Amino acid sequence: MFKISEFSRLSRISLQTLRYYDQIGLLKPARIDRSTGYRYYVAEQLLEINRIVIFKDLGFTLQQIAQLLQEDIPTEQIRGMLRLKESEIQQLLENETSKLSRIKERMQLVEREGKMEKEQEAVIKQVEPLHLISYASLGSAEEIPQLFQHFEGLLEASTRSVLSGPRTVLWKESNLQDHDFELEVGYSAKPGSYKLSEGLRTRCMSAETMATLLFRSDSSFSKTACADLAAWIERHGYPIRENQPGREIYVPLSDEPGVCLVEIQIPIMDAGAAE
């Protein structure tokens, strides 16, 4: 048997907590010395204290835990509960990581207000018609990598052979309250009629006049490029063409794995024009 101090050290549960668990009947000592009042525990109770800790981590109250211990829940059921909790925590971590990323982006915007790097000077150009094989969804900019993964999963070998251009993203604001953008991800392809997997579609985009900005994906201003381009468009008086999506084109650098040249394209009209 172990004295309460020894059991505390082995279980990593404080003396105060062990005494409280005894008081409320959650974990009684295996024996109490009547003459000294000392509490003694056995090794088997370490398994019981482990279950108590697990149930606490799962969000149960001490009263609920007492009931669960009486029911003697099978180990496999506890494993399932832990897996579910693990999944919930993982999702929470991903959400918080995404929030942190957005905060960093906003900090960059604040630090660079009113500034625009020389190498970021925007260019007005006429882009050619675009034939796209794509996957469309509602969501936020942070979801674009996942959308591309889904797109890749839907592609069949016969379809891959007709893809002829770099990764492309189309986006425009959504009218639905729960979603930021109408997003479309895909690749440019040779014009033609294709049998596509369910969920994929072809999209033909007409030639457009675009305000464009080119930058490296690993550059210090990659997170603020949209704001920089918007400021340039406003400064030069170009109206943005409504109901036409903006585009992002990703061209991988062959000598630098993981790095792309990114071009943002915003459809515009002539300065001073109105639709």
Q: Token pair for residue 14?
A: 């404080």
Among 20-34, 55-69, 112-126, the least confident range = 112-126
Name which residue leads in pLDDT, 31 or 165: 31
Q: What range does the domain containing 235 cover? A: 118-267
The DSSP element (H or E) to which 186 belongs, if any, is: strand 181-189
Give residue 94's pLDDT: 81
Does residue 124 share a domain with residue 238? yes
User: Does residue 195 belong to any structural domain of this protein?
Assistant: yes
The DSSP element (H or E) to which 202 belongs, if any, is: strand 200-205
Quick one: average pLDDT of 89-101? 80
Q: Which of 116, 103, 111, 188 is nearest to 142 (CA)?
A: 103
Backbone dihedral angles phi then psi of residue 261, each to the nearest 5 degrees: -90, 130
> Does residue 186 have a pLDDT over 90?
yes
58 close to 88: Cβ distance less than 8 angstroms: no
Cα distance between residue 154 and residue 37, in whole Å: 69
Cα distance between residue 267 and residue 181, in whole Å: 16
Question: What CATH number did the domain enclosing 30 receive?
Answer: 1.10.1660.10
Give residue 263's pLDDT: 92
Helix (H, G, I), strand (E, B) or coil at 14: coil
Quick one: average pLDDT of 196-203? 89
Does residue 201 share a domain with residue 133? yes
268 close to 239: Cβ distance less than 8 angstroms: yes
Does residue 122 share a domain with residue 35? no
Examine the fold and report which residue of 40, 58, 73 is the final residue of a domain before the chain moves on. 73
Does residue 252 share a domain with residue 179? yes
Quick one: average pLDDT of 193-205? 87
User: Does residue 254 belong to any structural domain of this protein?
Assistant: yes
Examine the fold and report which residue of 37, 58, 73 is the final residue of a domain before the chain moves on. 73
202 close to 170: Cβ distance less than 8 angstroms: no
Does residue 123 share a domain with residue 64? no
User: Does residue 100 belong to any structural domain of this protein?
Assistant: no
Does residue 125 share a domain with residue 59? no
Give residue 161's pLDDT: 81
User: Does residue 272 belong to any structural domain of this protein?
Assistant: no
Give residue 141's pLDDT: 78
Which percentage of the chain shows pLDDT scores above 70?
89
Question: What CATH number did the domain enclosing 141 receive?
Answer: 3.20.80.10
> What residue spans of 112-224 are helical by DSSP H?
144-154, 157-160
Mean pLDDT, the chain, as a whole number?
83
Does residue 124 share a domain with residue 9? no
Quick one: average pLDDT of 130-158? 87
> Does residue 194 have a pLDDT over 70?
yes
Q: Token pair for residue 243?
A: 């109901």
Q: Which of 86, 27, 80, 28 is nearest to 57 (CA)?
A: 86
pLDDT tens, position by position, 213-268: 988 888 766 767 887 888 888 888 889 988 889 999 999 888 888 888 899 999 99
The DSSP element (H or E) to which 230 belongs, if any, is: helix 225-235
Does residue 131 share a domain with residue 35? no
Considering Cα of 197, then 198, then 199, then 203, what sign does the dihedral take? Answer: positive
Give residue 118's pLDDT: 46
Does residue 128 share a domain with residue 10? no
Which percentage of the chain shows pLDDT scores above 90?
25
Give residue 11's pLDDT: 87
User: Does residue 219 belong to any structural domain of this protein?
Assistant: yes
User: Does residue 95 belong to any structural domain of this protein?
Assistant: no
Query: If pLDDT is split at 50, 70 and 90, which confidence band does 176 have?
Result: low
> Does residue 132 have a pLDDT over 70?
yes
Give residue 178's pLDDT: 61
Cα distance between residue 205 and residue 169, in whole Å: 12
User: Does residue 274 belong to any structural domain of this protein?
Assistant: no
Query: Residue 267 contacts by C-beta under 8 Å, 6 or more apart in sequence?
Result: 208, 209, 210, 240, 241, 244, 245, 246
Name which residue leads in pLDDT, 187 or 58: 187
Q: What is the number of structural domains in the chain?
A: 2
Does residue 145 share a domain with residue 62? no
> Does residue 209 have a pLDDT over 80?
yes
User: Does residue 88 belong to any structural domain of this protein?
Assistant: no
> Does residue 117 have a pLDDT over 60?
no
168 close to 148: Cβ distance less than 8 angstroms: no
Cα distance between residue 92 and residue 105, in whole Å: 20
Does residue 206 share a domain with residue 122? yes
Examine the fold and report which residue of 73, 98, 132 is the final residue of a domain before the chain moves on. 73
Does residue 122 share a domain with residue 68? no
